[in-house]
């Protein structure tokens, strides 16, 4: 099966637990349909570069998965009609990395620099 990285932005008025529940719901769907989630990351509430549906911030979530392309299409179709999700992007990659994403890896560097 092909490998994908899927990132989506949830509404800022959701709690972090509700935003992570959205990602867990997608992960459950992937695993039910024979796919595999390699990594599920919550990047936090971040400022958007421009307003999306009158929101200035959003909860960023990132999934790395091994799934058939039909399943990816179904996930994107569900997200188009989900009012809690502002934007999403799915990218096909050559291999799944087990390392933390650059967003999370950058956080560790900042904390170390402050000390």
pLDDT tens, residue by residue, 93-115:
998 887 888 888 877 655 555 55
Say what the pLDDT of residue 105 is. Answer: 80
Residue ranges per structural domain of the chain: 3-114
Label residue 83 by pLDDT band (50, 70, 90). very high
At the second CATH level, the architecture of 3-114 is 2-Layer Sandwich (3.30)
What mean pLDDT is predicted for residues 32-49? 92
Q: Which pTM value belongs to this model?
A: 0.85
Listed in order, strand segments (DSSP E) in the chain are: 3-10, 36-52, 55-66, 85-93
Say what the pLDDT of residue 112 is. Answer: 53
């Amino acid at each position: 099966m092909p490998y994908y990285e899927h990132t989506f932005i949830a509404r800022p008025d959701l709690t972090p637990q509700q935003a992570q529940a959205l990602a867990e719901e997608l992960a459950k769907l992937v695993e039910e349909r024979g796919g595999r989630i390699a990594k599920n990351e919550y990047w936090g509430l971040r400022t958007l570069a421009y307003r999306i549906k009158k929101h200035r911030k959003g909860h960023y979530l990132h999934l790395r998965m091994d799934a058939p392309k039909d399943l990816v299409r179904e996930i994107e179709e569900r997200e188009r009609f989900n009012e809690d999700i502002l934007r999403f992007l799915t990218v096909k990659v050559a291999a799944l990395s087990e390392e933390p994403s650059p967003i999370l890896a950058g956080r560790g560097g900042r904390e170390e620099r402050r000390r």
